[in-house]
Each structure stands twice: as structure tokens, then as C-alpha cells.
Structure 1
Amino acid sequence: MGFTNEQLERYSRHIILKEVGIRGQKKLLQSKVLIIGTGGLGAPAAMFLAAAGVGTIGLVDFDVVELSNLQRQIIHLTKDVGKHKVESAKETIAEMNPDVNTVVYREWVNSSNITDIIKDKDYDFIIDGTDNFPAKFLINDACVLLNKPFSHAGIIRFQGQTMTYVPGKGPCYRCIFRNPPPPDAVPTCKQAGVIGVMGGVIGTIQATEAIKYILGTGDLLNGYLLTYDALNMEFRKIKLSHNGNCEICGENPVITELIDYQQVQCRTN
């Protein structure tokens, strides 16, 4: 695979990095990342992955752009209000980087379709940009069963958290949070609010994890939960342990098929 003069210029700041170089940029252009949710987390993640030259980006979302989204979901513009988020995001990515093939899935993820979506392009890395617990557990379980690495994240008010799962190398989301809380036990961003830039901070970290995984460089948040308190401008990196009794990745897993804990409507942060 050769580079055009335009590509050499576009990715020049990557190519001069010893951790990337020509070989690493080729890896990025040949890689495939699936982003579930094109909201507050998925929007900045998609934009930075597209700018970085990730060759195939899959976008999953059935929601449409609302005016209240624009305070944080920066991949969408005012003219996009009423448009399906995946289509709006695809248009933005196309204008940003023509090297990127954007694949859209205009649907909610659930136990009947998530496996087919992940297998569709045999994605290398999955980014969870959802804001409800049934979807997060579903994404975790699908990735564990399919041996796919993924980045979890969540944001609310002035706080955010993220962790990375790599198959066989650390705890999964269910190791730390065993089961979803009861419905409505935890408020959503719509109910509690969220500072707009929070998605940018955490979503960009998710994109960074995807890029590092593809390149095989640096230390991932595998085995760690990174939390961010924007009011106090404080990051904390908390060591996590694999749970040998985890119901899906433990020594004697009891979850062998995907579960919908409730009607999953995977609205995004």
C-alpha cells in the first residue's frame, strides 16, 4: 500500500512519530472501528478517528439529531436537526477525510442484532458511546463472547469514567459492575444534565485507546478505571482486578448468550 502525496501531507504529523510512522499509519488506514452511539461520546471519538485515518468507521444509532444535542454532540450541526445521527455523522466524516469508509447501521443495538453488526466488517475495536446500562452490559457481553476489545465510558454532570477491555488480559465491565441497576435508579444526562465538554474529554480518550490498540503502542486502560472530575480538574486511575467468578469471563461462565435486560433503546450521551 503506497501513500499519495496528499496522504503524506495529511498524516505527516503522525508519520514523524516513531510510535506511528509509515507502518503505523498503514495500520490505521487498514483498521476498522465500530462506534455504538453517535452522541456526546461517539461524536468526538468518530471525528478524531476519522481525522487519524482509521480506514473503516462503523456508526450505530437510530436516533435523530435534536437541537438539545448540539451543546455536546459536535459531529452534528444546526442544519442537521431532524436528520438521523448516523447520516449526519457520515456526512461530516466524508467532508473531513475522504480516506474513511463510513458504514452506518440505523438501528438500536439489541441481543438479536449486535453480533451481526460487529461481525459485519469484523471490527478490530468497539467504542461504547451509549448512556444506558442495558446497552452497556449488552456491548460488554457481546465483545467478551466475540473476543473483541472495547472501550467503555460514561458521562454525567461534571463527571466521566472510562475503561478498556482486552480479551484475556484483564477485567471486563461485568467484573466491576456485576448487573445493571434497577430501571431509573441512575439518572440519565437528560434528567441530570451534563457539561458539554465532558463528552469531548472522555470520548477523545476512547479514540486514543482505539488508536493505541491498533498501533500496538503505549499502555491501555486495560485493568484500570479512569475517572474525571471536571469541577475539581482531577483525574484518578483506579486499579481493577479480574473477577474469577464473573458470570461471563470468569472461570465458570454462566452467561453464554446475549441478554436484553429490558427494551433497549440505545440513546446516546
Structure 2
Amino acid sequence: MTPAPFTNEELERYARHIVLPQVGGAGQQRLKAARVAVVGAGGIGCAVIPALAGAGVGQLTIIDGDAVDLSNLQRQPLYRSDQIGQGKAVLAAQFVNALNPFVEVVAIETRVDPANAAELLFGHDLILDGTDNFATRLIVSYTAVALGIPLLSAAAAQFQGQVGLFRGHLAGAPCYRCFVGDAFDADDCDTCAEQGVLGALVGTIGQFAALMAVSTIVGIGNDAAGKLFLFDGATLEWRTMRLPADPECRACR
């Protein structure tokens, strides 16, 4: 469906985008028409959600079954001390509504699992996964491949962050499981609760993921699919590696 023409308020709101030759009115319309599912409203999501809402993504679906915990506040600035115990998805959606009334936001207070993943993710143009456990990541990846939806995966632990765009539904392109293999099928893999994570690192990775999402939707620069961007928060260095498709991958081949 083609989105409605911009109102005068939208034109002023997105003026700094529209004057960019790489975005322009056509690129902003693509953002307005886009439907993005954000899986996880934790540290990564707290950076991604405001950036995408501010950019004018037309519909955001926020999926998270967790409630705010005191230990979250070190890296999840969407939430406040007086909101401890409240659901993250609903609070994040309230933030979006207050930030940008032109964005349609849906809050889904549940965890993604094999039984609901296809229903939750169907119909989106991009899935952005910022969850902190491999079981959920692999479910999301498998579903993205099955539905033919690009997956943008972002993660952070200790001082290390990574972001990758996967189009495993396309011939010759890797999926997320091509990258991690079968090593992370166990339910007891470490999360940031056990390993620790630098709060500012999470924001850096989330903002980078949001930038990649906007670039992917608008079509800025070369397609980043099949590349993994790695950031070392201790040395402040980025590096990029290209990921091959696994011909034996049981998720996308």
C-alpha cells in the first residue's frame, strides 16, 4: 500500500532527511511505508526503537515479554526507576507514541517461540533482533528465512558488539545459522546477565543497527547483507568480515 502524502508537519519533522540527496522525499516515503518488527526491547531495542520512530518508519511492532528490572536501567534509557515491574513492550510503545504520532506502533507482550514466531513476524519488511539469547535468535532466524524477510541481528556482551544483515532466503546468501552453526542450540548459553556488558556499548551497537536498518529500507549505499560488523568497545575499533553461506545449513539450504 502506498502511504499517504506527507502532511506539512511531517515535511517539517523529516526536513533534515529530505534535504539529503541519498534520502530525499522518495526515501522518506519508503521509510513511511516500511513495517519493521523489533524483537527485544532491552538494551539494543532501547537504542533502535527511538531511532526508527524518529526516522519515520511507518509501523513498528515491538515484541518483548519481559518487565523492567532495576539492573536494566544501566543500559536501557527508555525506562525509569518508577517503572520497575512494568512491561517493556508497552512502555516502549508509549515512548514511540509520545515521540512521533505519525508512527503506528504495536506492542506485543510475549516471547517469540516456535509456535508463535511466524504469526508475529509475518507481513514485515524487516526484522531487527536485539534479544540476548541464542535460542530466540535461532527461532527468529529460521522464521525470517521461511517468510522471506531480511533479518538484521545486533548483539552486545562485555565490550564486544556485532551487527549483521542476513538474507538467508536468497540463493547463495547466508542466514544467521550459517554464521553461528550448531554451537548455540543449548538453552544454557551465556547472556549479558552472566557475562556483564558496558552500557554505552549497547547504545552504540543499537544505533549502528538502526542506521543499517534505515539504509536498508531507503537503499543508501551498497547492500550490507552477508557482512558482519564487529566493534571492540575496549579498543574502540571496528572491523568487518564477510560471511559465506553454509551449503550444509539446516535452516536455509
Q: Under a length normalisation based on structure 2, what TM-score does the superposition of the two structures give?
A: 0.94
**Partner in structure 2 of residue 191 of structure 1:** 194
8 Å Cα contact 1:31/1:55 also seen in 2: yes
**Partner in structure 2 of residue 8 of structure 1:** 11
Deviations 1:25-74 (A, max 9, x none): 11111111000100011111011000000010000011111121111112
**Partner in structure 2 of residue 155 of structure 1:** 156
8 Å Cα contact 1:36/1:60 also seen in 2: yes
Which protein has greater RCO, CA pairs closer than 8 Å, 6+ apart?
1
- Choose the corresponding residue for 1:117, options 111, 120, 125: 120
- What is the CA distance between 1:137 and its match in structure 2? 0.7
Q: Write the mapping of 1:98-137 to structure 2, written as runs, cut at 5 A.
A: 98-119=101-122, 122-137=123-138
Deviations 1:235-259 (A, max 9, x none): 1101111112211222xxxxxxxxx
Rounded to whole Å, the distance in 2 between the matches of 1:20 and 1:46 is 20
Rounded to whole Å, the distance in 2 between the matches of 1:90 and 1:78 is 18
Which one-letter code corresponds to 1:132 in the other structure? N
Give the SS at the match of 2:177. Answer: helix
**Partner in structure 2 of residue 27 of structure 1:** 30
- What is the CA distance between 1:111 and its match in structure 2? 0.4
Is residue 174 of structure 2 the alignment partner of residue 171 of structure 1?
yes
Structure 2 residue ranges without an equivalent (≥5): none
**Partner in structure 1 of residue 234 of structure 2:** 231
- What is the CA distance between 1:181 and its match in structure 2? 4.9
Q: Write the mapping of 1:89-104 to structure 2, written as runs, cut at 5 A.
A: 89-104=92-107
Q: Write the mapping of 1:61-80 to structure 2, written as runs, cut at 5 A.
A: 61-80=64-83
Rounded to whole Å, the distance in 2 between the matches of 1:152 and 1:118 is 14
**Partner in structure 1 of residue 58 of structure 2:** 55
- What is the CA distance between 1:233 and its match in structure 2? 0.6
Deviations 1:206-252 (A, max 9, x none): 212221121122224311111110110111101111112211222xx
**Partner in structure 2 of residue 36 of structure 1:** 39
Rounded to whole Å, the distance in 1 between the matches of 2:62 and 2:179 is 27
Percent identical among aligned pairs is 36
8 Å Cα contact 1:64/1:81 also seen in 2: yes
Which one-letter code corresponds to 1:55 in the other structure? G
Aligned Cα root-mean-square deviation (Å): 1.3
**Partner in structure 1 of residue 87 of structure 2:** 84
- What is the CA distance between 1:75 and its match in structure 2? 1.7
Q: How many residues align?
A: 247
Rounded to whole Å, the distance in 1 between the matches of 2:158 and 2:114 is 29
